[in-house]
Structure 1
Amino acid sequence: MEVRRSFDILSHQLATAPKADSLAAKIDGTWQKISTQQVIDHANQVSLGLLQLGLKKDDKVAIISMNRPEWMFADFGISQIGATSVPMYPSITVEDYKYIFTDAGVKAVFVADEKLYAKVKEATADLPEVKHVFTFDKVAGARHFSELLEMGKKGDVATLEPLKAAVQPDDLLTLIYTSGTTGNPKGVMLTHDNILSNCRNSQRFVPVTKDDKALSFLPLCHIFERMVTYLYMINSVSIYYAESMEVIADNLREVKPEIFTTVPRLLEKVYDKIVAKGHELEGVKKNLFFWALDLGLKYDTQKDQGFFYNTQLALANKLIFNKWREALGGNLKCIVSGGGALQPRLARVFWSAGIRVMEGYGLTETSPVIAVGGFEPENNMIGTVGPLIDNMEVKIAPDGEILTKSASVMKGYYNKPELTAKEIDADGWFHTGDIGEFVNGKFLKITDRKKEMFKTSGGKYIAPQVIEGKLKESPLVEQCMVVGADQKFPAALVIPSFDDLKGWCKRNGVDCNCSNAELVKNEKVVQMYEDLVKKYNQNFAQWEQVKKIVLLPNQWTVETGEMTPTMKVKRKIITENNKDLIESLYNQEAHR
């Protein structure tokens, strides 16, 4: 059966390879499995319940929840009546909720739990058009999701057929608000065909079958996990929802998935933990561990390094790397990484350990995938985001910007025709805002964000993301931001990884029984970070090198307004919040 609209995925799965565990979630310590037919029944109940509430085609319904089966019941139920889902991050502010509810014209809301319900109640206090709020968890004083399902059970499923038939592939499926690093969020209009064409054109790059399981933990409100979920379901891959980020290691061992998607930061943390355990070993075991790690760091998907290297690597896999695979469940075929640049050293080590990391690239506006490193070594060049997916056009503009054209490019920004015309030119090319190049004519490489590059007072261009990525290779650096627009040289705000820093302090006789604010002022600590930056500076031209740093005691978070929900730094806000500190870095230089 052809999958032309998102909800066709359900009948397709039922007809081709129905599952007893189409979706699964852990409730009261047990994995509860939901069959394909049960997913269909729940989606139908949501559709019929919404119709009874008076909702109709093109109405907007928000979903605010971490990943769970109810998210998908709501998603399919909304789309079957031709309404539009508006998924939102649980972590954004009440002000953002209010802005999105108003801008989108939201009429109903599905919300996960008591804490989020309180935020929604506050945001909708003077928004009478938001008439219906249902909670997935039972919350005192709130209408529970089961109430909507019961309303749906009284309806006639046959009445849904003409409504589903009226939904066209080019109809609006979802409005995804991207927070960006400046101004109010923008509503990205994605049709059924936008996302499904992305699924079709990515299909051959992702090696999944009906016998496989996926662990899902990246937020479903983000287009990356949403599109991958549709791709999983089209291929009848069973989807298990992780309980939380805190117990993800346990969930991996229990579910034993063949695939999961992630962001680079999580892989960095996994790697740092593995290396920290290696440092705790002694004698022969420690030597073996770092011998294997060194081999891994030399791995190259594009090059056969000969009999001697391959033999050593096979031994390293038997003695050391097999434990890494077991920690990730033991059955992994691959990990798909997106949402930011993956450090090449991580890709090398994981590939060498038989854990194939496929780095992808795209934007919400492109549904999202533009390119992805393949499962096969020949289609995966470390340090690039791989070849373009099928039916994808990309050209590099004279200034280096990546332009793209495909069926996956959004309809436009909701209520913002001028902005749409600015981002999608008259010839249909979407301007990504990323700078890149092709390597060997096949592999796309991202070098920086066009909007984030700046000039020093000497007229030299600085690409901050490249420098930040290098500094964050150190386990001792949690976050950093390069500054220096119109100044003589680049400087950096650095937030230590305090757990790793305290370990370093213990090993080097530095007192760490103090607050983070005191620790970042310790002379030995400051000197160590300055030396660290000097070491990484060797990778850059003279004008790109970070000449000064300042250590900060508190992490940037979504809650403090300094990070976007996709964990990108809001440069303007961080610069403003640290204005005096940044000025002092350059004033010291002026007074010399």
Structure 2
Amino acid sequence: MLAADEELRHAVPDPAVTAVIKDPSTTLDRQIEAALTAYADRPALAERATEPVVDPATGRTTLRLLPRFDAITYRELRDRTAAVAADWRQHAEHPFSPGDIVCTLGFTSSDYTVIDLACAHSGAVAVPLQNSATAGHLKPIVAEAEPLIVATSIELVELAIDTTEDSATLRRVIVFDYHPEVDDEREKFEAARQRLIESGRPVALDSLADVIAHGRTLPSQPAHAWDPDELALLIYTSGSTGAPKGAMYPSRLVSALWQGWFPEAGGHPALGLSYMPMSHAAGRAMLVKSLANGGCTFFTARSDLSTLFEDIELARPSELMLVPRICDMLFQRHKGEDTARLRETFLGGRVLWAVTGSAPLSAEIGSFIGECLGFPLRDGFGSTEAGAIMIDGVVARPPIIDYRLDDVPELGYFHTDSPHPRGELLLRTSSIIPGYYKRPELNGEFFTEDGYYRSGDIMAEVGPDRLVYVDRRKNVLKLSQGEFVAVSKLEALFVTSPLIRQVYVYGSSERAYLLAVVVPVEGASREAIAESLQQIAREAGLNSYEVPRDFLIETEPFTTENGLLSDIRKLMRPRNGAPPNEGNGS
């Protein structure tokens, strides 16, 4: 494949550079400098090309997507990063110091990457905010983080102003992914500037383009020399089962991302497609993986993922991170089609490595995706707090040092269970976070006295270093007759129905049965859906109590916009187990 594909050949990692980046003694600043310098002439980041279009009726300008990607090189990425850092460090009114906080609100993009690398160059603590969250959800995070700078996409600038209206520390708002020639965007920018002026707050608003232009006129600043234990990143959990908590990443853990989160995934050309948020560890790991290996990351054009499949066809990636919701969409869209043809047309014919993770995936969908790829889909399992935990059910060593399963008597899981021990997975790992930001009281809840991290994941140990995921501890329901039900596993099964687009299963100890909310395909009847659920249950050998007794039909899909999916398209399961239309007050 390399012989016939020039783009792939030019994206093969340099072993000498890889050795420097993977060397445990190489600090974060030196890792970044090694990649950006050694691969200077290679394409680094690519976005969909656009052209301005003037509506003849209104005279207003919009942007039209073109069927190609345009890229910037590692040299240009390094130049923009250094310019932003020069502006921050030498700003006349609000100079930046190492350790200051930068919150970033927006969808993954080239501009977002520049800001993130500028944080590393400046010694800033980067705080990526969930781009699908509400102001009410984000305000406590901003209050806790106390940022000096908030960077926001033009798409979310109004949300950024709302979210930071009570911040006493904020001094600058920097707007990225901004095209002043587009009327809607320019008006948004000016309205945000006017809001800040009228508020009387000492907060300046600038475009990223202006920040870069100003920084290029200033003396360059040396990259911050990172101490391994110095705080570099805060990743706030999505809050899908509770209030967000800021997982602390010292620079050594960010360095570990550059060394590679996925143990055996190196060596091949890293042409990736980025559609996952930077506020999620896996999405961040995939982007960094590409940069560390001299590859090119192609960014999907729309934050609602409406162009995702078109972007995949145009980018022809060599590696893919596929969350289960995207796998579900591929299955629903292409099942029954010739998988070999899909491999060459839709996937571009050059995917060399692909992994899924973040939630259970049914065997049927996993098999279908594997047939499309032409090789088995890898199953990665990890967490924000612990990093990589296992690949294809095998414990990842390194970084895992030791693990054990703790009994969960209230849910009926014991290490004495037959045929396999079961319980909550407890971990000791070199990639564990040191704790949660400004929340030391949580350490006792999530860490044992002997230093093991409580993962919250129920596992079965089927052999030495071989684990099978059962469910999140908080997703296991106990029904009134004492049966235990792993609801996310059931959702992964039922969504394979050709009549179901999405499904949410719920129950409680007050009932002896399950209920569900179903988003059907167009034209599917209630009777046909009920029969389909029964058929899937029979084929999977489910117990009668694992089949929803009744279900609600919901015509509006679960989305990030209505708060029913997280940034990585995972169901936002209310803490009380209520169905989405009850638990979220909609």
Match of 1:170 among 219, 229, 251: 229
1:197/1:407 contact within 8 Å kept? no
Q: Mean alpha-carbon deviation: is it higher for 83-92 or for 546-555?
A: 546-555
Cα deviation code 1:266-290 (max 9, x no counterpart): 11211221126x4xxxxxxxxxx6x
For 2:388, the equivalent position in structure 1 comes to: 369
Cα deviation code 1:361-404 (max 9, x no counterpart): 111112x321123xxxxxxxxxxx44425231332223311112
Distance 1:469 1:222, change over 3 A: same
Which is helix-richer, 1 or 2?
Answer: 1
For 1:590, the equivalent position in structure 2 comes to: none
Match of 1:124 among 154, 158, 164: 164
Distance 1:6 1:32, change over 3 A: farther
Q: Given the two structures, how large is their TM-score scaled by the length of structure 2? A: 0.79
1:22-421 map, 5 Å: 22-28=44-50, 29=66, 31-51=69-89, 52=91, 53-113=94-154, 115-136=155-176, 137=178, 138=180, 139=186, 140-141=189-190, 142=193, 143-157=206-220, 159-161=221-223, 164-165=224-225, 167-200=226-259, 202=261, 204-209=263-268, 211-244=269-302, 245-275=305-335, 278=337, 321-353=340-372, 354-366=374-386, 368-373=387-392, 385-393=393-401, 394-399=403-408, 400-421=423-444
- Offset of residue 459 of structure 1: 1.9
Write the letter of the residue equivalent to 2:277: P
Cα deviation code 1:473-522 (max 9, x no counterpart): 213223323333223422222222333xx2x5xxxxxxxxxxxxxxxxxx
Write the letter of the residue equivalent to 2:33: S
1:189/1:411 contact within 8 Å kept? yes
- Offset of residue 332 of structure 1: 0.7
Write the letter of the residue equivalent to 1:456: L
Distance 1:70 1:389, change over 3 A: farther
- Offset of residue 561 of structure 1: 3.5
- Offset of residue 100 of structure 1: 1.5
- Offset of residue 417 of structure 1: 0.6
For 2:411, the equivalent position in structure 1 comes to: none
Q: Mean alpha-carbon deviation: is it higher for 23-32 or for 40-49?
A: 23-32
For 2:419, the equivalent position in structure 1 comes to: none
Write the letter of the residue equivalent to 2:236: Y
For 2:474, the equivalent position in structure 1 comes to: 451
Cα deviation code 1:70-97 (max 9, x no counterpart): 1111111112222101101221101123
Aligned partner of residue 438 in structure 2, secondary structure: coil
Cα deviation code 1:289-347 (max 9, x no counterpart): 6xxxxxxxxxxxxxxxxxxxxxxxxxxxxxx5233332111111122212211221222
Q: In structure 2, what is the Cα distance between the partners aligned to 1:433 and 1:203?
A: 22
1:24/1:34 contact within 8 Å kept? yes
Q: In structure 1, what is the Cα distance between the partners aligned to 2:360 and 2:527?
A: 28
Write the letter of the residue equivalent to 2:334: I
Write the letter of the residue equivalent to 1:473: T
Cα deviation code 1:247-278 (max 9, x no counterpart): 223322222211121211111211221126x4
Q: Given the two structures, how large is their TM-score scaled by the length of structure 1? A: 0.78
Q: In structure 1, what is the Cα distance between the partners aligned to 2:214 and 2:449?
A: 47
Q: Unmatched 5+ residue regions in structure 2?
A: 1-19, 51-65, 181-185, 194-205, 409-422
Quote the sequence identity (%): 20
- Offset of residue 416 of structure 1: 0.9
Write the letter of the residue equivalent to 1:445: V
Q: In structure 2, what is the Cα distance between the partners aligned to 1:438 and 1:183?
A: 28
Match of 1:473 among 474, 484, 496: 496
Which is strand-richer, 1 or 2?
Answer: 2
For 1:568, the equivalent position in structure 2 comes to: 571
- Offset of residue 207 of structure 1: 4.1
Cα deviation code 1:198-241 (max 9, x no counterpart): 553645421443x4421211122211111222222111121121
Q: In structure 2, what is the Cα distance between the partners aligned to 1:124 and 1:322?
A: 49
Q: In structure 2, what is the Cα distance between the partners aligned to 1:490 and 1:5?
A: 54
What is the root-mean-square deviation in Å for CA atoms of aligned residues?
Answer: 2.4
Write the letter of the residue equivalent to 2:35: Q
Distance 1:35 1:9, change over 3 A: farther
1:388/1:443 contact within 8 Å kept? no
How many residues align? The count is: 498
Write the letter of the residue equivalent to 2:328: E
Distance 1:5 1:42, change over 3 A: farther
Q: Unmatched 5+ residue regions in structure 1?
A: 279-288, 290-319, 374-384, 505-524, 581-592
Aligned partner of residue 222 in structure 2, secondary structure: helix
1:108/1:131 contact within 8 Å kept? yes
Aligned partner of residue 469 in structure 2, secondary structure: strand
Q: In structure 2, what is the Cα distance between the partners aligned to 1:479 and 1:352?
A: 23
For 1:9, the equivalent position in structure 2 comes to: 31
Aligned partner of residue 335 in structure 2, secondary structure: helix
Q: In structure 1, what is the Cα distance between the partners aligned to 2:512 and 2:563?
A: 27
Distance 1:214 1:261, change over 3 A: same
Distance 1:389 1:253, change over 3 A: farther
- Offset of residue 60 of structure 1: 0.9
Write the letter of the residue equivalent to 1:10: I
1:575-586 map, 5 Å: 575=578
